[in-house]
Chain A
């Protein structure tokens, strides 16, 4: 399932995938795969993404449904 919340948060911060990848110390393709829903990140990477985007885990990775 696509992670649109993360994509929106990244866009709101005006970050490119490359910039977010650099901030989280991963490759751009990994960020792309997370946003597309092709890869489930570990909790460590989730936390790094949340810190980079100033969001909580709930805001980015919790599925309400």
Chain B
């Protein structure tokens, strides 16, 4: 089997394990309140619809030769997954359902920035070593996956910062 396909399977397996852990952790602490749970349920639905739309769009794009010659299929599928996660995250942040009562948004922001920077560094290192973002003329999971992660975390960081400013302004009023 193709190496990059194994990487996608590994990423998906990791996400499933993380999801199970998160589910156990949140159940244990009972952290989100009823309004947040309602919003998160809606966010899951919107994220799922986004995933379907993104996968359909990619399927159509794959009939276009220029697309298939420049973008690797596993990378395209991972981008659809990351897009739906980003939609979920942004919806939750903007509707105050991303952090529970005991969470520290500033600490989370720090983690997001660290993850983003690590992925940016991985992309820079790849470009420095190979002179290009592409592998064999195609955008592949390495460094494409790092680009996706840094992009997703960048959007999340910007959304959290804007939300924190808005909440602060609301508190002052």
Contact = CB atoms under 8 A, between A and B. Distances in A.
A52 to B, nearest CB: 14
Contacts of A42: 34
Contacts of A60: none
Nearest to B167: A29
Q: Kindly state the interface size class of chain B when it binds its partner.
A: under 10
A59 B33 CA distance: 24
A25 interface: yes
Contacts of A32: 170
Contacts of B35: 26-27, 29-30, 33, 39, 41
A11 interface: no
A42 B33 CA distance: 11
Interface residues of A, number: 14
State the main secondary structure of chain A at its contact with B.
Answer: helix
Interface in A1-45: 21-22, 25-27, 29-30, 32-33, 39, 41-42, 44-45
Contacts of B36: 27, 30
A45 B34 CA distance: 8
Interface string B93-125: 000100011000000000000000000000000
Given A26-B35, A27-B35, 19 more contacts: A21-B101, A22-B101, A25-B101, A26-B33, A26-B34, A26-B101, A27-B36, A27-B96, A27-B100, A27-B101, A29-B35, A29-B96, A32-B170, A33-B35, A33-B96, A39-B35, A41-B34, A41-B35, A44-B34
21 contacts: A22-B101, A25-B33, A26-B33, A26-B34, A26-B35, A26-B101, A27-B35, A27-B100, A27-B101, A29-B35, A29-B96, A30-B35, A30-B36, A32-B170, A33-B35, A33-B96, A39-B35, A41-B34, A41-B35, A42-B34, A44-B34
